[in-house]
Amino acid sequence: MKKFKSYKLLAAFTTICFLGLLFFLMLGPACKSKGERSITGPIKLRSDYKTLTEEDVISMLNKNGFFDKRWNRRESFPNKFELKTINGDQVLIDHATGLVWHQSGSSTPLSFENAIEWLTDLNRRQYAGFSTWRFPTLEEAASILEKKTYKLYHVDPLFSRLQYSTRTGDVFNPVRHWGVSFQYGSMFRVGVNEEDFVRPVTVYIPK
C-alpha cells in the first residue's frame, strides 16, 4: 500500500514539474522586460531613401525598438558587432542586421554635395574591398544608437569617437536631411548646405 502511494506521489510530482516547464516555455518570452529583445538571424532594415515626417520617425523607432533620447528612451537595439580589418581598412560588421559600417567615416564634416564626392572616392578606392558604400538610411543609422553611453557617446566603443554624428540619405524636406547624433543619442535635421560627418554603410555578403 505504501509502495502504491509512493508511485502516486511521484507521478503527481512529475506531472506538476512538466506543467510548470510547459507554462514557462509558453509564457517566458512574454515576460521579458520592454527593453529586452533576442535575435535569431539578421534583421533586414530599410535601405531605400524616403521623405520622413517627425511622426514617421517616432513610429519607426518604436516599431524597431531603436533608442532615441527624446522619443524612445526605454529601448536599445541588440547589435552584434565584429571589428574586422580587410585590405588594411577597418570595418564593423553587424551580424544582427547584416550591415557593414565604416569604422570611422569622413574625417571632417561635409556638405551634402561634398559628402557625395567623398563617397564616390571611397567606392573608387574600394575601401575594405567594397564599392557600394552609401549614406545610411535613418533606420540603419538609428540601429547603432545605444541607451548606454561610452565615453559620452551613445554608440559602441568599437566605432571611432571622431564622428559625433552622421548625415543620412533620408530627407525631411527638399533642403533638410535627417541625421543621427551619437553624442546626444537622438535624431535631428541637417541642411543640405550645412556640414556634417558621414558614417557610410554597405551590406555584408558572406563568402
DSSP class of residue 110 equals: B
Q: What are phi and psi of 184, to 5 degrees?
A: -100, -10
Verify that 15 and 69 share a domain, yes or no: no
What nine digits make up the cell of 169? 540619405
In a shared domain, residues 10 and 101: no
Tens of pLDDT along 39-78? 445 789 999 999 999 999 999 999 999 999 999 887 778 8
Query: In which domain, by residue range, is 19 found?
Result: 1-31
Q: What's the rounded Cα separation, in Å, for the pair 201 and 137? A: 9
Count of the separate structural domains present in the chain: 2
- What pLDDT, on the 0 to 100 scale, is given for residue 205? 64
- 150 shares its domain with 91: yes
Q: Are residues 161 and 197 in the same domain?
A: yes
Q: What's the rounded Cα separation, in Å, for the pair 51 and 33?
A: 33
What stretches in the chain show pLDDT beneath 70? 1-41, 205-207
Task: Quickly tell me which residue has 539578421 as its cell.
Answer: 42
Compute the distance between CA of residue 174 and CA of residue 193 in angstroms, rounded to an integer.
Answer: 11
Query: Do 129 and 157 share a domain, yes or no?
Result: yes
Name which of 205, 82, 77 is nearest 141 in CA terms.
Answer: 77
